[in-house]
Each structure stands twice: as structure tokens, then as C-alpha cells.
Structure 1
Amino acid sequence: MKISTKGRYGLTIMMELAAKFGEGPTSLKSIAEKNQLSEHYLEQLIAPLRNAGLVKSIRGAYGGYILSRDPATITAGDVIRVLEGPISPVDFTEEDDPAKRDLWLRIRDSIAEVLDSTTLDYLINYHEQSAADNYMFYI
């Protein structure tokens, strides 16, 4: 399974909204400019995220988008499934060999576990968390 630009850019949108959570709406234009992405493409991605209830749109001159709930409760898996569909490395209906089918199922489950245990909150705070784990010793 390869995550397309839909999934990667969708995760970028959600991380930007998570970083601004509680500060009011964020425009797609500002997200596009900050990340050097096409605003038109982001507009296509935000619709399924809104329809899935992950984001809300705010109308008006200072409108934009906000997360519908706390970033600690939205996972990368939520976003990827909305934009990419079910997580599956192969089409299981084509696999007759039980050993290979078991391998594909274990790979699918491992990918799902990582995506479902990684929240937007974790992603936006990753740099701070990883820096705290690094020790600097001076002699």
C-alpha cells in the first residue's frame, strides 16, 4: 500500500488545523502557502474530511476550517481512511495460499495499529517530544 498525495496532503491539512486548535479558523490559502501546496487541490481534499466530521467550516471574512474535536482524539488512521479508503496491502480475495494471506493480514494489521495509535496531537508535538528524549552530555 502506498499512501498517495491525497493522504499525505490531507494529513498536512489536519496537522496545520491541529496546531491552531482553539485559536479560530484557518484558511486553506494559508495552509497552501505555508506548505507550498496547491490551494485548489487542498479544496478537493477538505470536502471528504468535512463530510466525515473531522473538520468544520466557518464562513465569513475571517472564516476557514477548524478541527471538529480535540487533536488528541483524531488519528492518522482516521484521516488516511477517509482520503485513501481501507488500509490493505493487497486484495485478499485473490490470495488462496493461507500462509501468504496470513502475511498480508499481519502487515495490514501492523500498518493499521501504527496509524490508529498516532494522533494529530502526537504528530504536531513530535519534534518537542523527540528533542526531550535526546540527551546532551558535556565534559
Structure 2
Amino acid sequence: MKISTKGRYALRLLLDLAEHKEDGYIALKDIAERQEISKKYLEQIVGSLNRAEILRTNRGFQGGYMLAKSPDQYTVADILRITEGSLAPIACLEQEKNPCGRSKSCMTLGVWKGLNKVMIDYLEGITLQDILDKHQTADAVEYYI
């Protein structure tokens, strides 16, 4: 699995909203400036996040975006599933029931299932709040399994 720019920027956008949650609704242009991301690109990402009901939106003067829930209720896995779709490392693990005709005899399937479990467990174990807290206590954000 390779995380796209859309996934990475969505995470940065949501972290910016979490970091500035006390400011109320945040204009997309302010996030774009702080994060050095094109406002046009953020508009595309916001569409996906809105459909997933991750954000609250307020239009007009004093309008903008804010998180619908507190930062400790959003995991990195949740965000990446919205922007990337499946987090599975191989196609045959993307569905609940493995559609591959070789799955019963595949010698490597266990390797990919193990990798998938480690990745999902890791990403589901990190919330936006965890990232903010870690950033406030250290210059470098590092997570270990």
C-alpha cells in the first residue's frame, strides 16, 4: 500500500483543524496557507471528508470547517480509508471474503494477512489527538510498533 498525496494532505488538513479547534470554523484558505497546500486541492479533499461526515461546515461570512467530533475519535486508519479506500496490501484482501481462486492453496497469503493486520492495528491505534500530543512533547513525531 502506498499512501497518496490525497491521504497525506487529508491527515494534515484534519490535524490543522484539530490544532485550531478552539478558533471555531476555520477558512480553507487559512489551512492552505499554514499547510502550504493548494486551496483547490484541499477543496477536493474536503468533498470526500464531508461525504464521510468527518467535518462540520458553515458557509458565508465567518464560514469554514471544523471537526464533527473530538480529535481523539478519529484514527489515522479512518482517515486513510476515506481517502485511499482499502488499506489492504494486496487486492485479494480488500474484500471480506477472499475472491481469489488460489486462496486455499496460496503459500504467501498468510504473509499478506499478517502484514495487513500489523498495518491496520498500527493505524487504528493512532488518533489525531495522539499526533497532536506527541508533537507538543517532542520536536520529531515518531511512532513505534
TM-score, normalised to structure 1's length? Answer: 0.87
Greater helix percent: which structure?
A: 1
Q: Deviations over 1:6-56 (max 9, x none)?
A: 100000110001111232011111111111111000000001111111111
SS of 1:22's equivalent in the other structure is: helix
Q: Distance in 2 between matches of 1:78 and 1:44?
A: 18
Q: CA deviation at 1:124?
A: 1.5
Counterpart code for 2:109: R
Say whether residues 1:98 and 2:123 are aligned partners.
no
Q: Distance in 2 between matches of 1:111 and 1:130?
A: 24
Q: CA deviation at 1:61?
A: 1.2
Among the aligned pairs, what percent are the same residue? 33
Say whether residues 1:129 and 2:137 are aligned partners.
yes
Deviates more, 1:14-23 or 1:75-84: 14-23
RMSD (CA atoms): 1.5
CA contact (8 A) 2:56 2:65 kept: yes
TM-score, normalised to structure 2's length? Answer: 0.84
CA contact (8 A) 2:13 2:35 kept: no
Match of 2:16 in 1: 16
Q: Which runs of 4+ in 1 moved over 6 A?
A: none
Q: Distance in 2 between matches of 1:48 and 1:84?
A: 10
Q: Distance in 2 between matches of 1:81 and 1:108?
A: 13
CA contact (8 A) 1:17 1:66 kept: yes
Q: CA deviation at 1:77?
A: 0.9
Q: Distance in 1 between matches of 2:17 and 2:130?
A: 13
Deviates more, 1:19-28 or 1:34-43: 19-28
Q: Please point out which of 113, 117, 122 is paired with 1:114.
A: 122
Match of 1:29 in 2: 29
Give the total of aligned pairs. Answer: 131
SS of 1:15's equivalent in the other structure is: helix
Match of 2:85 in 1: 85
Match of 1:45 in 2: 45
Q: CA deviation at 1:98?
A: 3.4
Q: Which blocks of at least 5 consecutive residues in structure 2 are unaligned?
A: 93-98, 140-145
Q: Which blocks of at least 5 consecutive residues in structure 1 are unaligned?
A: 132-139
